[in-house]
Structure 1
Amino acid sequence: MAQSDLDLLTGEEATELLATAVSTAGGELVDWSVRQVDHRPGRSTTVAYRARVRWGEGVEAGRVRTETLGASLGRPGDQQVPGVLTLDDGEHAVAVWRFPGDPALPALATAYDAEAVATLLGDLGVPEVARGPVTLRVRAYRPTRRAVIEASTPGARVFLKVVRPEKVDDLHARHALLAGAGLPVPKPLGRSADGLLVIAPLSGESMRHAVRDGGAVPSAAEVVTMLDRLPDSVAELPLRTSWSENAGHYASVIGAAMPAEADRARHLAETIATRIAGQRPDEPTHGDLYEAQVMLADGRITGLLDVDSAGPGRRADDLACLVAHIETLSLLRGWDNERLHALALEYAAGFAGQVEPVELSARIGGVLLSLATGPHRVQEADWPLQTSRRLDAVERWLGGVPG
């Protein structure tokens, strides 16, 4: 995808696109800002926006509301969904929608409708949540990819994971497999054919809170023990490319957004690829293990979230993922940088006794490279500086565990 396509959806030209889409729906665009960017060079670009809209009809007449809008280029299927506006200037065909009308996530409209959720949960046999008024809270949204919505009443709650319809059966099977093996993962409660999976909540608090606040966290040995509980059958699931093995892709994303760093990112990706070449992905893995996916009680692991990527891989990738995420937190403003860097080093040292240290450091670098796309994706105010800082971290870890 050309750089001009990225500019079209994130630069000043986006004003006309969004204003036209909002006007077609009966509103007036007041202002907007980019919230997320998913740029896949040579393939597609998808952007989420925070927009303020003044509505001119019905009960909303004259009221300014904050809306989430989405737009995509290079995804022809998005343009064929009812309710999605296609704007075509002869060179670009842009699909624009208003949340929850995501063209790739047809179940999102149901998941964001309290009455529809109550009916669905009743049909699925979850009556304790279906009774009484249902409150919905959006916990995560990646346009055209996935969403998580918490549905609760005064007496109970569940989580609604919305994915593309073709992925829901596979996701349900992963939850069922791991829950059936005794791992502390969310129990699947039901699903719909259009991409909605209902899962039970887990006990405990996110490890992210303990990491942030300096609370008790599990030891490296305890993390390894949890991974040892993954059944061998996980290695028989469909293979998914790991973060490290996708290093070339993430380097191209960085290079497209920040040409000044393109050569450095490409060189780092090539170094990672060389160091992990020939390693067979034949071990059961979580696939995306980091502190926000782990639930704790008094420092003990009580739950494991987001098993979407569970499958065959390398144990070193799971361990590297946790280290890389904590190292990335150490680079954020407002976080205890020295303490978090020390924690990343502590985990890396503990994990180095479980897997080959050179592989571990290479895969830490690979996950860090994937995370270096984050500042641009969420449009941090100083994203070029933050991107460069993350590339610096990749270099340090590839050069040996930093002091």
Structure 2
Amino acid sequence: MTLAPTRPTWPAPLALLLGPDASELLGVTLGGYGGRLTALRVVTVGVQPGGATVVQYAADVQRADGTTTRETLAATTGSRIPQGAAVLAGRGVEVGVWRWPQDPALPALATAAHPGRLAVALHALGIPRETPPHVKVRAYRPGRRAVLELTGGGPRLFLKIVRPDAVQGLRERHDLLAPHVPVPRPLATTPDGMLVLPEAAGTPVRTLLSRGTPPPPPTALAAVLDALPPALLELPARRTHLQRVRHFADVLTHTAVGADDERAELDALTARLADVDGGAHPSVPVHGDFYESQLLASSGRITGLLDVDTAGRGHRIDEWATLLAHLSVLALHGSPAARGYGAQVLAHAEQRFPRAQLRPRIAAAVLGLATGPFRVQQEGWREHTQERQRLATRWARG
């Protein structure tokens, strides 16, 4: 079965995993479990410029007893193949494959996704539940991380599943931040990569915008950023969006940008951003991925700050640029509230940073977001990609 109309410009691993041969590869894997693949749909696609690819699928699988189940499958190539994955070959490309929740890079996932085993594990951690919890998947990036929500049998909890070598550092970030900003303090961790978190108070700012509820003023956002502890300066700095422009452009070239005129526009934007004078900015503590979905609020105050994996050393101007990029993309897709809020935040930010240094950073962040429609296989992804690329160009022009 063909999953998508492949393009001749796609790298071989991408063309394989999105084309008809993917069904045969995955069917071989399921055959080992006594299942037969009857339908396959691409859910997410991650591509690195070097060709490494990871694809998540939703699969309909017919069992020996005639019943059909919906399962999540993953296939990876190149450097994205984790140790422990079953490796097959197709058209000269090695492919690592697995079924949810047996992600070889996330060993804690098999326990976390099974209510009975999870209840036993939580009891051993001193977090007993009256009954096995209901487990809802909130996010899954194959080979990288998962977020699960637990309800029933006790208070609502969230599990963050990461690679085992990352869990201690993530806990330390939470413990470091919790006394200063509204970051949930972990209840427990496990050596195989599970972090147990309490529910944070408040409503996501993105939800407030969708409801037409007034979001917190920019001064409330600034107060949270100002409260980030100086100890974050001891942690590594992440590459900024401006520093990653070439990476974003390469991903787009490999995936969503095909026509000559589209490539010419992308090349022009990349060249413009490469020539930007970003200015000198002091290193300060940063969240690292500061935007409306990471912020919970109530009564005009920020009450929760999520996903602190990226917290460390950086530049404050990039925090505002990231938020403004996300708000401008929301506005692009028809959110008047996001447009109005973005105007407030922009006015606040441009009182603090030169327009000529802020707006190219917003453009670079929007260019990163332009990789999103293809990654999540959004309907009409080509048109949505071009809309975001044109938005990035407008920001770059000031």
User: Does structure 1 residue 66 correspond to structure 2 residue 66?
Assistant: no
Report the equivalent of 2:354: 356
Count of residues in Structure 1 that have an aligned counterpart in Structure 2: 387
Q: Deviations over 1:147-203 (max 9, x none)?
A: 0011222431211101111111111111010013x2100111121112111111111
Alpha-carbon RMSD: 1.9
> Match for 2:79 among 70, 75, 80?
75
Paired residues for 1:40-55 under 5 Å = 40-55=48-63
State the secondary structure of the residue aligned to 1:211: helix
Equivalents in 2 of 1:331, 1:95: separation in Å?
37
Contact conserved, 1:100 with 1:109, CA < 8 A, in 2? yes
Report the equivalent of 2:4: none
State the secondary structure of the residue aligned to 2:269: helix
Bigger mean CA offset, 12-21 vs 170-179: 12-21
Shift of residue 376 of structure 1?
0.3
> Match for 1:28 among 36, 46, 51?
36
Report the equivalent of 1:212: 210
Structure 2: gaps of 5 or more residues? 1-8
Q: Deviations over 1:231-256 (max 9, x none)?
A: 11112212222333212111100011
TM-score (norm 2): 0.92
Report the equivalent of 1:299: 300
Report the equivalent of 1:340: 338
Equivalents in 1 of 2:116, 2:96: separation in Å?
28
Contact conserved, 1:256 with 1:262, CA < 8 A, in 2? no
User: Does structure 1 residue 233 correspond to structure 2 residue 231?
Assistant: yes
Amino acid of the residue matched to residue 390 of structure 1? R
Amino acid of the residue matched to residue 290 of structure 1? Y
State the secondary structure of the residue aligned to 2:249: helix
State the secondary structure of the residue aligned to 2:50: coil
Paired residues for 1:324-403 under 5 Å = 324-332=325-333, 335-336=334-335, 338-400=336-398
Contact conserved, 1:2 with 1:41, CA < 8 A, in 2? no
Report the equivalent of 2:322: 321
Amino acid of the residue matched to residue 184 of structure 2? P
Equivalents in 2 of 1:281, 1:55: separation in Å?
59
Shift of residue 76 of structure 1?
7.0
Amino acid of the residue matched to residue 174 of structure 2? H
Amino acid of the residue matched to residue 308 of structure 2? V
Contact conserved, 1:215 with 1:299, CA < 8 A, in 2? no
Shift of residue 212 of structure 1?
1.3
Equivalents in 1 of 2:231, 2:263: separation in Å?
40
State the secondary structure of the residue aligned to 1:312: strand
Against the structure 1 CA distance between its residues 238 and 265, is the aligned structure 2 distance closer, same or farther, given a 3 Å change threshold? same
User: Does structure 1 residue 168 correspond to structure 2 residue 167?
Assistant: yes
Contact conserved, 2:248 with 2:371, CA < 8 A, in 1? yes
Amino acid of the residue matched to residue 212 of structure 2? G
Report the equivalent of 1:265: 266
User: Does structure 1 residue 288 correspond to structure 2 residue 296?
Assistant: no
Structure 1: gaps of 5 or more residues? none
Contact conserved, 1:285 with 1:310, CA < 8 A, in 2? yes
Against the structure 1 CA distance between its residues 291 and 214, is the aligned structure 2 distance closer, same or farther, given a 3 Å change threshold? same
Equivalents in 1 of 2:307, 2:108: separation in Å?
19
Q: What percentage of residue pairs aligned between the two structures are identical?
A: 39
Bigger mean CA offset, 247-256 vs 111-120: 111-120
